[in-house]
Amino acid sequence: MTNVNVDNFSSAAQSDSQFVLAPLPYADNALEPVISANTLSFHYGKHHNTYVTNLNKLVEGTEFAGQSLEQIIKATAGQADKAGIFNNAAQVWNHMFYWLSLKPNGGGEPSAPLKQKIEAAFGSVDACKKEFATAAVTQFGSGWAWLVLDGDKVAIAKTSNADSPLTKNIRPLLTIDVWEHAYYLDYQNRRPDYVNTILDKLINWDFAAANLG
């Protein structure tokens, strides 16, 4: 899965007409000490896996069977009678994207093309990280913070619950999961510590660069 980017997610999430739990791009303990193997085993093996299982049950026998995650997300966004399908499809996609937004020994500086776009938008990489962290920390309740490409400009966004930039036709580059199950076993209520440590130690700038398109 390490070569997957935003353009070919569905191929990693599907096998024939069923969605599958795509493998992690690293070992359970590879993100320690920032994210423990215990947290990863629950987050990936329980939460993410449940979204995959639920989605397969919900789309079976419907017009969405055999469609890609992106097709399902865009077709069901904002439709109250299809909220269950949307929530589970979007959470499968969001989690796949989150795992790839992290890497062991991450952080540091992005490569030149991405760095230039970040500096044009924010002034510096540090200013971008600060705004990214603020979005993640101030997202009320469950949700996600995103580095996105909106048109030709890099920006920061945040979404609640299962929503993602895909529903607004904005291209995601990176994400940080701020649902409590992403960090509570390791950080309890200290979301800022979780967010800032990810940005310093785990964020995968190479994945963001690959997603520029």
Is 163 a member of any domain? Answer: yes
For the question of whether the overall pTM of this predicted structure is more than 0.85, the answer is yes
Crossing angle for the helix pair 49-59 and 83-100, nearest 10 degrees? 140
- Give a yes or no: residue 146 inside a domain: yes
Are the beta carbons of 37 and 29 closer than 8 angstroms?
yes
**Residue 6 domain-assigned (yes or no):** no
Tokens of 115: 């760095």
Is 24 a domain residue?
no
> Does residue 129 lie in a domain region?
yes
Q: Which pLDDT score is estimated for 13?
A: 73
The pLDDT tens digits of the residues spanning 34-87 come to 999 999 999 999 999 999 999 999 999 999 998 999 999 999 999 999 999 999
Q: What CATH code is carried by the domain that includes residue 158? A: 3.55.40.20
| Domain count for the chain | 1
DSSP assignment string, 143-206: EEEEEEEETTEEEEEEEETT--GGGGT-EEEEEEE-SGGGTHHHHTT-HHHHHHHHHHHTB-HH
Per the domain annotation, does 68 fall within a domain?
Answer: no
The three state secondary structure string of 17-30 is: CEECCCCCCCCCCC
Which residues span the domain enclosing 201?
A: 112-210
* Residue 178 in tokens: 């701020």
Domain membership of residue 12 (yes or no) is no
Q: What is the pLDDT of residues 137-194, one digit of tens each?
A: 999 999 999 999 999 999 999 999 999 999 999 999 999 999 999 999 999 999 999 9
Start-to-end C-alpha separation, the chain: 18
For 32, counting Cβ atoms within 10 Å of its Cβ (0-12 exposed, 13-18 middle, 19+ buried), the class is middle
pLDDT at 131 (0 to 100): 98
Domain presence at residue 158: yes
- Which residue shows structure tokens 């690293």? 26
